[in-house]
Amino acid sequence: TDPALIRNFCIIAHIDHGKSTLADRMLQITGVVDDRSMRAQYLDRMDIERERGITIKSQAVRLPYDGHVLNMIDTPGHVDFTYEVSRSLQACEGAILLVDAAQGIEAQTLANLYLAMNADLHIIPVLNKIDLPAAQPEKFAEELAGLIGCDPSDVLRVSGKTGEGVRELLDHVVREVPAPVGRADAAARALIFDSVYDTYRGVVTYVRVVDGHLGKRERILMMSTAATHETLEIGVISPEPRPAELGLGVGEVGYLITGVKDVRQSRVGDTVTSAVKSAGEMLAGYEHPKPMVFSGLYPIDGDEYPELREALDKLQLNDAALVYEPETSAALGFGFRVGFLGLLHMEIVRERLEREFGLSLISTAPNVIYRVIMEDGSELTVTNPSEFPTGGKIAQVFEPVTKSTILAPSEFIGAIMEICQGRRGNLLGMDYLSEDRVEIRYTLPLGEIIFDFFDQLKSRTRGYASLDYEPAGEQEADLVKVDILLQGEPVDAFSAIVHREKAYAYGTEMAKKLRELIPRQQFEVPIQAAIGARVIARENIRAIRKDVLAKCYGGDISRKRKLLEKQKEGKKRMKMVGRVEVPQEAFVAALSTD
Ligand code: GDP
Ligand code: MG
C-alpha cells in the first residue's frame, strides 16, 4: 500500500470510557465485521477480558475506508500495562483521546494523553456516550479543550453505542492524522508492539514497519537479542489474520509468525530487521518490563505443585513480564515467588492459573522490592519479607516510590488528603480541571499503594476518584520486618515489611485474626507479633481437650468409624507449625484481604 494512503491511529481513554465499543462501531462501519457476526467488544478475545470487560492485550485491525487503509490499535488502559500502551502508541501517528461525556477527564485520561504527547502523536479529542441522558457535552468539551489547548468546538462528539458521529470521526482521522513516513529502500526496521502465544501457531508477533519491507520466507533478526528466525507467515488482521503475499511495507501494521514458542524470543519493544541486510540502529528505547510487585503463590493441595510449575511455564510463553522462582515456606509448603507489573497483573495471573489450569492457590500478601544496605556496606535486594535481614546491622532501607495522580470531585479533597497523609504521602500539587474537579498529585510509597489503597480511595469517594501512578525512584524509609509467631515458631507466610509506625497495628491485627481462625489445641498456644526478638503484640488460644469419640461413647460402631474418617479427612488439610496444627483454611482466610 502507498504510505500516503495509510493512517495509523489508536484509541486512548480511561477504563470504561468506551474504547472497545467505539472500535466495534468502526469495525461495522468499515464493513470489516458484518452485522450478523458482530458481538460487543469484538476485539477483547480472551475470556478474562470479556468477563471483566477490560482490555488486557493490544489489538490491531486493518480497516479499509474511503480509499484509505486505517490501522486501528486498541490499547489496554490500565497502569500495569503502560509499557505496552507506550509501544502501541509508537506504532501510530494519531490518537483518539476518548472521554466519557457523563464522567469527564479521569486519571488514565491524563496518563494516556501524556504518553501520546510524548510519542508526538496528533491528538483528536472526542467525547463519547453523548446518547446518555447524564451526558454534559458542553461542560466536558470545555474541560478537554482546556487540557489540550484547543477550542471547545474542535472536540468531536460521538456515541460508540448508537454509532452517531463515528463516520465523521473516521473522516476526521483520514483528514487530520499524518500519513506514515519512512524510507522504502532502506534496511527493514519494524517495531514489535505486541507478542502473543497461540497454542496452534506459536508466537504471533505484531509489528509496525517503519522502514523497508518484510516479506514471507525471509530471515529476520531481533535486534535486542541478536536471534534470527524465518518468517513463516506474514499478514494483516482484518478482523481475522490474513496472510499478505506481498509482505509489509513502510507504514504498514500486521503480524508475523516465525515458529518460536516463547514470547520472550519476540519481545514487545524490540526491533525486527532483515538478517541479510540489517539496519544499523534499533528503533527508540527498548526496555525490559520490570516486575514491581511480588507475592508467594502456593497450591492449596501440595500435590499440585508440579502442575503449578507447568502452568507458570505456559503462562510465561504469553507474558514476558511474568517472572517466578521456586520458594519454600514452612507454613505453606512448596510454591513460587512471583513478580508482577502491578496489582491488576497479579490478579489476572492468579485468575488465569485458577481458571485455565484448574489450580486452587493461596497467595501471600503482596510486597514491593526493597534495597537494604548493611553497616558493613554490603547490599541486599529483598523481594520476600523472609529474606529481610534480622541478625546483622541494617544501615539503610530504600523503598520504591511513585508519583501518583488522583482525580476527583473537589468535595473529596479532604478525604483524599487524609488517606494519602496516612500512607506517608507527600503532596506535590493540586490543580482544578474545572470548578468542581481537581487533580491532586502525591509522592506515595508503592508499598502503600498495593495495600488496598485503591479500595479505600474508592470507598471514601463513593467511587468518584480515579488513580494513576508511575514509578518515581526510591526513598529511604524506616521499615521493619514484623514476624508472627505461633508458640514461638515464626509463620513465614505472615511476615511483612512495614513502616515502624505501622508495625504495631499490623502485628495486633494479624494476631487477632489468627486467634479467631486457628482452632483450639490440646495445649495453650501463644500468638505473638515481633520485630526481631522484641514482642510487640500477643494473643492466646486457650487449650481444649478434643476427643471426637467421647461424644458417641457406647454408640454404634459405624458412626464411630465415620467420625474417625471425617477427622482424618480434616487432618489432610492441616499444616503443622511446630506442634500447632493449623487448618489450611486459616491461612487462606488470614491471607485474604478484606
Ligand atoms: P473500554 O474499557 O474503554 O474499552 O470501554 P468499553 O467499550 O468496554 O465500554 C464500557 C461500558 O460503557 C460498556 O458497558 C459499554 O456498553 C458502555 N458504552 C460504551 N460506549 C457507549 C456509548 O456511546 N453510550 C453508552 N450509553 N454506553 C456506552
Ligand atoms: Mg476495552
Residue 17 known to bind ligand: yes
Distance 257 CA to ligand 2 centre (A): 25
Please say whether the dihedral angle defined by the alpha carbons of residues 285, 214, 44 and 119, taken in this order, is positive or negative.
Answer: positive
Distance 161 CA to ligand 1 centre (A): 7
Nearest to 352 by CA among 197, 126, 521: 197
SS (H, E, C) 524-564: CEEEEEEECCEEEEEEEECCCCCCHHHHHCCCCHHHHHHHH
What was the pLDDT predicted at 332? 82
Q: Is 160 in the pocket of ligand 1 (CB under 6 A)?
A: yes
Size of the chain, expressed as the number of residues it contains: 594
Peptide bond into 299 cis (omega under 30): no
Q: Is 13 in the pocket of ligand 1 (CB under 6 A)?
A: yes
What was the pLDDT predicted at 594? 47
Q: Is the CB of residue 496 less than 8 Å from the CB of residue 365? A: yes
Distance 487 CA to ligand 1 centre (A): 54
- Residues near 89 by Cβ (< 8 Å), separated by ≥ 6? 10, 12, 75, 95, 115, 116, 119, 121
Alpha-carbon span 579 to 577, nearest angstrom: 6
Alpha-carbon span 331 to 460, nearest angstrom: 35
What was the pLDDT predicted at 162? 97
Instruction: State how beta strands 394-409 and 370-374 pair.
Output: antiparallel
Alpha helices by DSSP H, listed for 362-441, are 413-422
Residue 277 known to bind ligand: no
Q: Is the CB of residue 21 less than 8 Å from the CB of residue 131? A: no
Q: 81-119 pLDDT, tens per residue?
A: 777 778 888 899 999 999 999 999 998 888 889 889 988
Q: How far is CA 76 from the centre of its chain?
A: 10
What was the pLDDT predicted at 256? 94
Q: How far is CA 28 from the centre of its chain?
A: 30
Alpha-carbon span 284 to 43, nearest angstrom: 28
Q: Is the CB of residue 6 less than 8 Å from the CB of residue 180? A: yes
**Looking at this predicted complex, what is its ipTM?**
0.99
Q: 371-382 pLDDT, tens per residue?
A: 999 999 999 999
Residue 151 known to bind ligand: no
The DSSP code sequence of 103-121 is T---HHHHHHHHHHHHTT-
Name the least confident of 3-12, 130-139, 195-204, 462-471: 195-204
